[in-house]
Amino acid sequence: MALFDETKLNELVGRVLGDLGGAVSVPLVRIGDTLGLYDALNRIGPVTADDLAAAAGCAPRYVREWLAAQSASGYVHHEQGRFSLTPEQALVFAETDSPVNLIGAFDTAAAMVENQPKVQSAFKTGKGVAWGDQAGCMFCAVARLFRPGYVNALVQEWLPALDGVVDRLKTGAKVADVGCGHGLSTILMAQAFPRSRFTGYDFHPASIAAATAHARAHAVTNVNFEIGKAQDFTGRDFDLVTCFDCLHDMGDPEAAAAHIRQALKGDGTWMVVEPMAGDALEDNINPVGRLYYSASTMICVPTSLAQETGLALGAQAGEKRLAEVIRSGGFTKVRRAAQTPLNMVLEAT
């Protein structure tokens, strides 16, 4: 055995044990969310385990053990035999519209584990795993993961950061949301700007069906959804085209950039929202980079490699590489208009 530094070894083991604790918490968090345990704690806490079980309609022995595990993780507060959520814990686990609600991340992590056999096989063949072939409801989990960011920043910060776009949207603009998924971003914009007309495009039929149902449920009438790829969707003369966390997933993002340039009016704007990343690996050795590189390995790169040229930019492509792709389509100006800890917003004209 090679010589090793015992202090460094202990630090690494401690880090891995912490990671394992988080990993085995994934099913417990999802159970708490699905069965309404977090919601009940947030409404009626502090409570005993038996009281919480009664409120949620669950077996007390399971709830007692669940609460113990959640307390050990720091996800639930325990004091003198009673359990509750602190305001901070509620923002992460119980408040649906909180900007830091992370339940969707746990759903995504579970889907990634379920997807392991397919991606593991792709490691040997070099082929991709198509978005519609991902294990479980990957697209449902991803939609839920990104929802808090869109709800709290899209209309309030991202669109206003673009040059003159909000004024157009207020008076009536034509907008394409390319790679719309379940249509959360499209519907949020449509609700905020009723005089504008929005079309959401996605190559995944099940996502378009979900988006259409979502719009219908919310009685949003200035939006429609169509199946279409980023490089050949129908429609022209758009004032604004948006792409939310999807450019890096595309098989041929350069062809997409060229088609979007053609679909825009001469003075139109392309808003590209992408995961926050530096331009070099060294810039991304941090918690956000760790999350995105892992998701990129299991979701983004396989999805891209299953399409056309399979450029496989990855979720941590960085602003420089993304700008190169955008400019390849005929755009002359690319700037970072806004950012959050998880996303960068690029404006292309």
pLDDT tens-digit series, residues 161-187 = 999 999 999 999 999 999 999 999 999
Maximum alpha-carbon separation in the chain: 71
Last residue of a domain, one of 95, 117, 141: 95
217-241 pLDDT, tens digit each: 999 999 999 999 999 999 999 999 9
Number of compact structural domains in the chain:
2
* Percent of the chain at pLDDT exceeding 70: 100
CATH code: domain of residue 52: 1.10.10.10
What is the pLDDT tens value at each position of the chain, 349 positions in all? 788 999 999 999 999 999 999 999 999 999 999 999 999 999 998 999 999 999 999 999 999 999 999 999 999 999 999 999 999 999 999 999 999 999 999 999 999 999 999 999 999 999 999 888 887 678 788 888 889 999 999 999 999 999 999 999 999 999 999 999 999 999 999 999 999 999 999 999 999 999 999 999 999 999 999 999 999 999 999 999 999 999 999 999 999 999 999 999 999 999 999 999 999 999 999 999 999 999 999 999 999 999 988 899 999 999 999 999 999 999 999 999 999 989 999 999 9
Last residue of a domain, one of 95, 126, 160: 95
Query: Which range of residues forms the domain containing residue 300?
Result: 104-348
> Does residue 119 share a domain with residue 63?
no
